[in-house]
Chain A
Amino acid sequence: MTVAQADSPALAALAADPKLQRKPRTYWSMALQSLRRDLVTLIAMGFLTIMAVLALLAPAIAKSIGVGPNDTNPDNAFQQPYLGPYIQWRTGQDPATAPLMLGKSGGVPHWLGTDQLGRDQFVRLLYGGRVSLGIAFAAAALTLILGVTVGTVAGFFGSVVDDLIMWFINTTVSIPGIYLLIIVTATFKPNPITLTLFLGLLGWFGTARLIRGNVFKVRALDFVLAARSIGSRNARIMFQHVIPNSLPIIIVNAAIDIGSLILAESALSFLGLGVQPPTATWGSMLNRARNLIFLRDPETGASLALHLLSVPGLLITVTVLSLYLIGDGLRDALDPMMKNIR
């Protein structure tokens, strides 16, 4: 197979030339290389990593700020974000506002302001991120496991098995997903674990259909025929050939799924059907702020609660956008057909 063992001395010399020597490039290293050139995807990945790490470190960060997610301080409700005045204090533009804000909050810097009960929005967002991201990732994992298993089985065995599974999936999918979720969450009281289960158990149909289609395609390829001809068993073919060749689709699908699940969780919380207060989630924070947008300072007429609406909203948007961008970037990187070889 290799050129290095060519008979011609000229070819041998060519092969020995260090300039032409390079490591054999595998599928994954090529994917990685193309990913490295994709700045947008990298930024999205970086943002998501930071969010995840911050959410994981939420208790430590809360401790260093000195305030818990459910610590109320009614005297300091609707404090505007401290970040701006702090920067102005550091740069010497406004030496007065930041100390006054600290004085009102009892020395606690509320970087993103406080809500209607004087709870710290930054800390609540971090804790909310634990719940929102945790639910989305866990539910996506569940979706993936169910979807890949069912999809592979359906696509690989075909015929009656496929018919039955597809009949079930098509029937279930024809019920609008969000209504099904609303019914289930309105009936059973959701906590983070049950909500994960609901989202996961009701979310795998699309993944299964996608995988099934791809398995159909892979199953008909020559190397599967070859494996069959040397007597490989079904399980070996499935795990060695079919699933690895579906991996790109699975990964891309997962990234987009997580984004959709964050939105679903937010939508449910927004309807008051998600994880119940006082536990913060991004969706429930947004929901609470929605009622407060008319609220204005009686003296200045300035809107009091804009920061409570904009920050969680922006965070949800950017996180979901990041996940979609990552999904998009991964598809470009993992699909050899779409690769722009340079």
Chain B
Amino acid sequence: MNGILFAILAAALATVLAGIGSAKGVGGAAETAMGVLSEDSSMFGKMLVLTLLPGTQGLYGFIVGFLIMINCGVLGGEAPTLAQGLCYLAASLAIGIGGMISGFAQGKAAVAGISMCAKDDKNFSKAMVSVTLVEIYALLAFIVSLLMVISIPSINM
């Protein structure tokens, strides 16, 4: 038995969990942004930027999922051994869980940023930078997942 099932499960988990985080984050931010836009539609550009900020987690999850698929025979490469498949599963958890929870948190920060920006759009750059402070944790999770996924095919098990 090879580990293809676990590898696919890993790809799915990375994409879905991080995607949930982003979906909730962007969704909440978009709701607030639309409230602001109903008052002043000229803020669209700024609102768009702040709304999209929690969207990166889903992207990171997707990329990890995609790289797993490339490595494990779904889109090329060789089928992994059982141990490798389990390793993929473990590696995907970093961006899956990290991305999901940081997505929730960044969504909340984005909502606050949007409210701040709505009061005075001079606050935009401050809001933007503050919201990206959360991003680093998603990035770290992503990089950990990524480095693991890239190196798993060369581990002999």
Do A and B come together as binding partners?
Answer: no
Footprint of A on B, CB under 8 Å? none
